[in-house]
């Protein structure tokens, strides 16, 4: 894992109080993810009604209300590794806040009907988290998540690449690789797709400030440390300028990846040892 775990946690904890104010993209992604859950729950040939839902990397608990509206009898475990994020969630008798890390989820094996996760996976080691999710889900249970795809922040990536070859922008895994990984780990009915969402800002500094406010700045351990000097910032702005829109705004592209997968109803987590 090249991402520095404790720094990611610290960045989100610091951003917790102003998170909802700035997380426009996250809110949009959440709505779109819920639509996909709706399809499985209410429109598919085998509708399902989850009893226990795990919202992994729940942040300030934005998903809690819409999930309860859809599944009024469910029990929701709102899980995040940041206590500051969890502290923002309003108490509710059907909602249990749990401080836990997605790489070692504190839930019983086979206890979750629906794993829901909006824009957390990109901060994690995907393989470890998928294995943990698979352990947590009941046989026949579903995983629905969003993450960032490889084309995310390509403008910023391009502008930095004109300055040096350090990793200033996080590396995001392509959607097809995530789907392959889920299949290799034994998930079934895997569907991955993605779409590009472009946000616009007045300036390059605004792009970077927004990423920081939502706790989404670069955490690659090979990044250059310290503040960006005014000279570098000027250079960066110059290289980013080529993307300025006709309306005079600075675009930042985000590739939103959706992944849906099922744990086989035959998968009880037991492995067979065959004697010769």
**Rg of the chain on CA atoms, in Å:** 20
Report if residue 82 touches ligand SAM, rule: CB under 6 A: yes
Query: Phi, psi at residue 122, to the nearest 5°?
Result: -65, -15
80 contributes a contact to ligand SAM by CB under 6 A: yes
Angle of CA points 220, 225, 227, to nearest 5°: 125
Interface with ligand SAM, residue 118, by CB under 6 A: yes
Q: Does the protein bind ligand SAM through residue 97 (CB under 6 A)?
A: no
CB 45 to ligand SAM: min, Å: 29
Per CB under 6 A, which region of 97-105, 201-209, 219-227, 235-243 contacts ligand SAM? 97-105
Two tokens, residue 111? 């206890």
Give alpha helix (H) positions in the chain: 5-15, 19-22, 24-38, 64-70, 83-86, 126-136, 154-161, 175-184, 204-213, 230-240
Q: Which of 81, 160, 243, 258 binds ligand SAM (CB under 6 A)?
A: 81
Using CB under 6 A as the binding criterion, the count of chain residues that bind ligand SAM stands at 21
Interface segment toward ligand SAM; rule CB under 6 A; list 57-65, 107-115, 164-172, 232-240: 57-65
Pick the binder of ligand SAM from 40, 53, 62, 169 (CB under 6 A).
62
Task: Give the footprint of ligand SAM on this chain (CB under 6 A).
Answer: 8, 12, 23, 26, 30, 57-59, 62, 80-82, 85, 101-103, 118-120, 123-124
């Amino acid at each position: 894992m090249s991402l520095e775990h404790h720094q990611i946690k610290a960045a989100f904890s610091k951003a917790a109080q102003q998170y909802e104010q700035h997380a426009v993209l996250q809110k949009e992604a959440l709505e779109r993810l819920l639509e996909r859950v709706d399809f499985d729950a209410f429109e598919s040939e085998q509708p399902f009604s989850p009893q226990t839902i795990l919202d992994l990397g729940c942040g300030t608990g934005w998903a809690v209300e819409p999930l309860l509206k859809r599944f009024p009898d469910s029990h929701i475990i709102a899980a995040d590794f940041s206590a500051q994020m969890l502290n923002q969630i309003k108490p509710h008798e059907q909602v249990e806040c749990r401080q836990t890390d997605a790489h070692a989820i504190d839930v019983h094996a086979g206890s979750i009907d629906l794993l829901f996760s909006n824009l957390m996976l990109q901060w994690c080691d995907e393989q470890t988290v998928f294995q943990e999710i698979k352990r947590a889900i009941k046989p026949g249970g579903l995983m629905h998540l969003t993450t960032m795809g490889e084309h995310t922040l390509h403008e910023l990536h391009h502008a930095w690449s004109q300055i040096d070859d350090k990793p200033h922008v996080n590396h995001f895994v392509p959607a097809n690789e995530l789907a392959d990984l889920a299949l290799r780990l034994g998930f079934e009915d895997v569907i991955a797709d993605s779409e590009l969402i472009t946000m616009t800002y007045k300036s390059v500094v605004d792009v970077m400030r927004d990423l920081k406010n939502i706790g989404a700045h670069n955490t690659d351990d090979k990044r250059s440390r310290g503040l960006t000097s005014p000279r570098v910032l000027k250079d960066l702005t110059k290289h980013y300028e080529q993307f300025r829109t006709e309306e005079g705004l600075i675009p930042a592209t985000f590739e939103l990846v959706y992944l849906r997968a099922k744990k086989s109803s035959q998968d009880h987590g037991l492995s067979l040892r065959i004697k010769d």
